[in-house]
Structure 1
Amino acid sequence: MPPLPTSRFAWLCASAAVVALGAAAAWRWRHRRGGRRELVQVGTVSGLVIYPVKSCRGLPLERAEVTELGVQSGDLRDRFWLVTKEDGHMVTARQESRLVLVSVNCKNGHLILNAPEMTELAVPVKVPEKNPVKNCRVFGLDIQGQDCGDEVAHWFTTFLKSEPYRLMHYETDMAPRKCEKIMMPFRPKDEVAYSDCGPLLIISEASMEDLNTRLEKKIDLRYFRPNITVSGCDAYEEDTWGKIIIGDVEMKEVIACGRCILTTVDPDTGIIDRKEPLETLKRYRMCDPAEKHIHKSAPLFGSFFGIDKTGTIKVGDPVYKVIEC
């Protein structure tokens, strides 16, 4: 057999090294802590999205850090900014559906806001220390936020054309909300800033495809605002994974996500329908009667995960289910 060309030989060596590293990592997982764990690939990460300002547009990512409080990318952290009324009560697309039209990015230490017929606004990520810290009310629980100033408050008030609003920022030295106080069965260590109730929301592409077979008007995952999208698995399989590993991040499925009226807001127009996809989901995705005290009348779509080990994930990463042996 003639010798391989140098480039092809190098490629094969690199491929072998990747396989060896993967095998070594799997061996370490299987044998750590004196026990045995099997890792079974159940899918592949096909999408990552961060939502810096609650209810505003998400920002797709190729790579992200996962902290105890959720996704982070540079200066942006998931749901660390919150629009409120002047009395501190949160404002989301449930009340102001046009919030979904506000796009968010980050540049040179500034949160960049854009919206239809509005001038772009740059807001410092690091809020001036002189700005007041106020109590915010998020789903019945108090949590602090630092006021981002009058200019951005006027910007949101002008765009939404309603009562005066403020923009608040969660600082990392503030006390987070305990997920178990929002909804059981979250664990004592599960915490969030302004997210609804869990650090990470995962939905599979197959679940979205299955729902679309039942809808007259097709929609996409923007209606459901997941942080992680997974391909290569069956519909609703994400509800059954238990503990999973993505990259060097460990997470545990805690509870399915009960869906609300926000899922009926069109992300392209900001118009709230109040019917679909909720009515269709209610025909086949209601909870077990034993869990009705948790989900009440909300249909289930996607699953919340708590964080057991922080780290980095990226699009293309395999998703492994952990099986204790």
Structure 2
Amino acid sequence: MGAAGWWALGRPGLGARSPPGWLGLAALGLAAVALAAVAWRGARPWRRRRLRQVGTVAQLWLYPIKSCKGVRVSAAECTALGLRSGPLRDRFWLVVKEDGHMVTARQEPRLVLVSIAEEDDRLILSAPGMDQLSLPSKLPSSNMLQDCRLFGLDIKGRDCGDEAARWFTTFLKTEAFRLVQFETNMKGRPSREILPPFVQNYQVAYPDCSPVMILSEASLADLNTRLEKKVKMEHFRPNIVVSGCDAFEEDTWDELLIGGVEMKKVLSCPRCIMTTVDPDTGVIGRNEPLETLKSYRLCDPSEKQIYKSSPLFGIYYSVEKIGSLRVGDPIYQML
């Protein structure tokens, strides 16, 4: 997740240099690729392209409230605004100050201790030392609209009410906070105001800059070989976790087909101090794993005007064709 300093970026689709290398497809895998290619080409005959399996969906994650705990699911709808599972939608809720400015775990690291569950079309929030908070997944239209501010851009949110405001204020204990919800009829933040004007045109609600972020298990394993204290996937908050590929192989993928969903690479994910927040304790360390990532995951010098000094870990994607995803789905690169 990038800090505010890198939002004015250069050309998309660039990542850190890593050794090339594709995993060979086993005989059974070849059959699966062939069947998927036939079905896909039949549905999209005007875009006949080769498919090559590059991995498998190992995990799917939604983060309903920005900076709070993720919800792991076995299947999800992938919309233009990100993953959805029932009433839970990825980063459709946001904690704000009373003036509408966003609050994340960069400023309030204990937000990562707030967990979210869904029950009877309601959100159930839990946190250490707090009674559970139950919120409707759809707010009444009588709730006020709040003007919010994310990374210098304006966006709306519907206020979740005084009970939610008191709950977050009591838990965080630093100042007054409110919780707002994005609605699909609201205008998202345009990608071309967040990123360079020549990236693909899409909108985002409360994510940093794209509706989907992908990271591989192998990349995390590579990082952990270099760390004294191992880190979890939860430090990096991806939506789709990939198995069956080499470390940082995801840097080389452009357009992907997963289930019925087509995605296009936006850019590599520049990492910030958010990665140093321990997801189990809510304590911000400010050093690791960020410093280790900087030791070997900085961009090529020719790309420094884009990523500056942020290390790269994971890839941002836009959604080009909506559809369904499941854990176990093969991931194909469209060539």
TM surpasses 0.5:
yes
Aligned pairs for 1:224-235 within 5 A: 224-235=236-247
Rg larger in structure: 1
Question: Identity of paired residues, percent?
Answer: 60
Q: Which of 95, 103, 107 in structure 1 is aligned with 2:119? A: 107
Pick from 69, 77, 84 the counterpart of residue 65 of structure 1: 77
- Report the TM-score when normalising by structure 1: 0.91
Q: Which residue of 2 aligns with 1:80?
A: 92
Contact 1:239 1:256 in 2 (8 A): yes
Contiguous gaps of at least 5 residues in structure 2: 1-29
How many aligned positions are there?
306
Query: Aligned partners of 2:318, 2:197: CA distance in 1, in Å?
Result: 11
- On the 8 A contact 2:33/2:53 being kept in 1, the answer is no
How far apart are the structure 2 equivalents of 1:91 and 1:227? Answer: 21
Aligned to 2:321: 309
| Cα pair 1:178 1:188 within 8 Å, conserved | no
User: How far apart, in 2, do the equivalents of 1:186 and 1:93 lie?
Assistant: 30
Query: What one-letter code is carried by the residue in structure 2 that aligns with 1:81?
Result: W
Q: Give the 3-state SS of the residue equivalent to 1:116 in structure 2.
A: coil
Equivalent of 2:109, from 91, 94, 97? 97
- Quote the Cα distance in structure 2 between the aligned partners of 1:34 and 1:170: 36
* 1:129-144 aligned within 5 A: 129-144=141-156
From 37, 56, 78, give the equivalent of 1:44: 56
Equivalents in 1 of 2:281, 2:170: separation in Å?
18
> Is the counterpart of residue 29 in structure 1 residue 40 in structure 2?
yes
Counterpart mapping for 1:119-268 below 5 A: 119-184=131-196, 187-268=199-280
The TM-score with structure 2 as length reference comes to 0.88
Which one has more relative contact order, counting CA pairs under 8 Å at least 6 apart? Answer: 2
The offset of 1:24, in angstroms, is 4.7
8 Å Cα contact 2:33-2:51 kept in structure 1: no
Aligned to 1:6: none
User: What one-letter code is carried by the residue in structure 2 that aligns with 1:299?
Assistant: P
Question: What are the equivalent positions in structure 2 for 1:281-320 lying under 5 Å apart?
Answer: 281-320=293-332
Range that drifts further, 172-181 or 60-69: 172-181
- For residues 137 and 214 of structure 2, the distance between their equivalents in structure 1, rounded to whole angstroms, comes to 27
Q: Any conservation in 2 of the 1:47–1:229 contact (CA below 8 Å)?
A: yes
Give the conservation status (yes or no) of the 8 Å contact 1:179–1:186. no
- 2:18 is matched with none
Offset from partner CA, 1:115-167 (integer Å, 9 cap, x none): 00000010111112111101100011000001000000000000000100000
- SS across alignment from 1:44: strand
What code does the residue aligned with 2:286 have? R
Shift of 1:20: 8.7
Give the residue type in structure 2 aligned to 1:26: A
The amino acid of 1:253's aligned partner reads: K
Give the letter aligned to residue 169 of structure 1: Q
Q: Give the match's secondary structure for 2:167.
A: helix
The Cα of 1:185 is off from its aligned counterpart by: 6.8
Structure 1 unaligned regions, length at least 5: 1-18
Contact preservation (8 Å) 2:101, 2:148: yes
Cα separation, 1, equivalents of 2:40 and 2:106 = 43
CA distance 1:96–1:40, change in 2 (3 Å): same
**What is the Cα deviation at residue 313 of structure 1?**
0.4
**Structure 1 Cα separation of the partners of residues 240 and 146 of structure 2:** 31
